[in-house]
Amino acid sequence: MVRYNDVMLHRHLTHQRYTLAAIDDIIARGKRRDWAELRRAALADRAVLEKVLRVCQAKVADPYAQRYHFWKQYAERRLA
């Protein structure tokens, strides 16, 4: 992850859309500012929120993946 003009550039991605890989990168390596941007995007677009949930469901088998547990609960509550 690299920052350029305060924008998180995702590893191995050539665009800045909220793809599954980009969401995974934000959750795994992002800072507070990145999480705030993801939250805003998720609140503005239900599809982003559904992608967050999809990414997290694949990771929560690991009890130590606390970031994914947090985002999964957040997405589930917002989608309810």
pLDDT in tens, 15-63: 568 899 899 999 999 999 999 999 999 999 999 999 999 999 999 999 9
Predicted confidence at residue 41, as pLDDT, reads: 93
71 or 1: whose pLDDT is higher? 71
Give me the number of domains the chain comprises.
Answer: 1
Instruction: Please indicate whether residue 21 or residue 77 has the higher confidence score (pLDDT).
Output: 77
CA dist., res. 27 & res. 22, Å (int): 9
Whether this model's pTM surpasses 0.85: no
Predicted confidence band of residue 2 (pLDDT cuts 50, 70, 90):
very low
* Parent domain of 21: 2-79
Torsion-angle region of 18 (φ positive above 0: left; ψ -120 to 50: alpha; else: beta)? beta
Pair 25, 1: CB distance under 8 Å: yes
